[in-house]
Chain A
């Protein structure tokens, strides 16, 4: 039975932008491995000639006219922000000086 390594779990957490405690890492190692082993049976199905199903009701190319329609006001858009300034969302600095 294949087991995810600690490093793999930490890498997944980084990709998913999730902070995990030490205990979490071990617990997820076990649980994720179990889930991934369970779904391994999917690869046994012969689907060589089968197209993937992404779109269950087969609707295609739903377009609209390129017209500006009413949207949220700036005030509404900021209403639930954890931090804002002068009509902007405040975020953690991305660049260092």
Chain B
């Protein structure tokens, strides 16, 4: 196996046992990028100094990671161009690191480059990128999902050992499920948003995207925790630890009509498998699910319109008219819904319904320990297939947005393939700060299945 094909866990062990050097590891990753990224377009910017940094890490003799990470281009990296995949920031070079990036750097990780995504993370396919879309390593004419499609593709194609993404409405989980990789949307506040180019401040979550659940846990433990630069961040408070026999709930609203048959089948198979290996599985209801999208698309564009006001072309970036179309669209919606005379009808009302969504989860978690369901209602689609109708795209976020509305964590992992060889993923959702429980269930599943070990031929 080539060094770039190893998991993070394997690399950590390999470096410790001096089986290979960091220079060899990084060289393998760079060679892979050279070989396939013309086709995939997962990266927007590469760190020219990474091989030199690897050499220094090898020579330092310290127990540092020295492991190559790809960072979604909405996270600030000091000295390395950060565009948010928008033309507006084509020349922007941050003078500081995002906290999650800084914590990885402190642990010794090496940044290979910045990955492509939908512009400002607005989208679910990377087709809204100002620099052209990313292609799915499993099927080049299809999308790897979004908005963290570049990070997902880079992990799936072994163009890095692990990556960072962000999830505001599903943008880690959905691309993970489209690319046969594993991704965690942490509890809101568990990972600092400082340095994350803000989309929707009460929703945004940076998080790990990697080859296994175990890898995601290692990364999460490095980046999580209170940050004085982010007043909404917190330490993992009162962690919900696994009890004796864990009960998994299947929300019936997540398996309704409109979910592709093959997805429903693979996910239910996985649930059955978990039952066979000792978990309780039962049906549960999240009755207000029908309002999740309609409130999400009031609240998020509203918060977007406020956060995007900073792009005035004065302190950084180009003129505002260089913003991409989807970006302008969401700014406009949000400007309207927050404007005088409309705030109560739109934003305030949606915020009240948001309480009901959170209460649905609170009620459910009185009966079960965690939830299991599909991540997206349709399989990876062809580039260009859904760009004509933005509203239709929005509707497909139905399975992911509720976790962001309630601030709860979600772990997406591979659970099978369709007859055509397209990956299918499932997600585990738990109460606030229950990441440990999600990791336990995920690791149990991955210990006895090998979907996640399959690799695409690029």
Query: Do A and B form a real pair?
Result: yes
B384 close to chain A: CB less than 8 A:
no
Chain A contacts of B321 at CB under 8 A?
18-19
Contact flag A57-B294 (CB < 8 Å), given A17-B320, A47-B352, A72-B96 = no
By the criterion CB–CB under 8 Å, are B314 and A89 in contact? yes
Set A24, A34, A43, A56: member contacting B358, Cβ < 8 A: A56
Chain A contact residues, majority secondary structure: loop
Partner of B354, one of A20, A41, A53, A77: A53
**Given B354, B391, B406, which contacts A34 in the complex, CB threshold below 8 Å?**
B391
Known A59-B232, A79-B93: A38·B351 in contact at CB below 8 Å: no
Bound CA span A79–B298, Å: 35
Contact A52 B313 (CB under 8 A): no
- B303-323 interface code vs A (CB 8 A; 1 in, 0 out): 001000100111111101101
Tell me whether A38 and B189 are in contact in the complex, defined as CB-CB below 8 angstroms, given that A47-B353, A53-B354, A89-B314 are known contacts: no
The answer to whether A35 has its CB under 8 Å from any CB of chain B is yes
- Are A57 and B391 closer than 8 Å at their CB atoms? no
- Residue of A at shortest CB range from B188? A56
User: Out of B95, B318, B356, which one reaches A72, CB within 8 Å?
Assistant: B95
Are B349 and A80 in touch, CB under 8 angstroms? no
Residue of A nearest to B347 (CB): A52
Question: Within the complex, which residue of A18, A42, A51, A89 is in contact with B350, where a contact is CB–CB below 8 Å?
Answer: A42
**Residue contact A81 to B316, C-beta cutoff 8 Å:** yes
CA distance A57 to B433 in the complex (A): 10
Given contacts A12-B339, A57-B187, A79-B95, contact A52 B351 (CB under 8 A): yes
Say whether A80 contacts B92, CB under 8 Å: yes
Please classify how large the interface on chain A is, using the bins under 10, 10 to 19, 20 to 34, 35 or more: 35 or more
* B309: chain A residues within 8 A (beta carbon): 17
**Which single member of A15, A51, A54, A81 contacts B335 (CB below 8 Å)?**
A15
Q: Does B228 contact A (CB under 8 A)?
A: yes
A82 touches B313 (CB 8 A): yes
Which of the candidate stretches B25-33, B136-144, B251-259, B326-334 sits at the interface with the other chain?
Answer: B326-334
* Most chain B CB within a 10 A radius of its CB, from A31, A34, A45: A45
Interface residues of A (CB under 8 A from B): 8-9, 12-13, 15-20, 24, 28, 31-32, 34-36, 38-39, 41-43, 45, 47, 50-57, 59, 62, 64, 72, 76-77, 79-82, 89, 91
Give 18 pairs: A residue, B residue, CB < 8 Å, sorted on A: A8-B336, A12-B332, A12-B339, A17-B320, A18-B331, A31-B391, A38-B394, A39-B350, A41-B294, A42-B298, A42-B346, A47-B355, A50-B352, A53-B352, A57-B432, A80-B317, A81-B314, A82-B313
Give me 20 other A-B pairs in contact (C-beta within 8 A), A19-B321, A31-B329, A56-B188 excluded. Answer: A15-B339, A17-B320, A18-B320, A18-B323, A31-B391, A35-B297, A35-B333, A36-B336, A39-B297, A45-B349, A45-B353, A47-B353, A47-B355, A50-B356, A55-B202, A57-B232, A80-B91, A80-B93, A80-B316, A80-B317
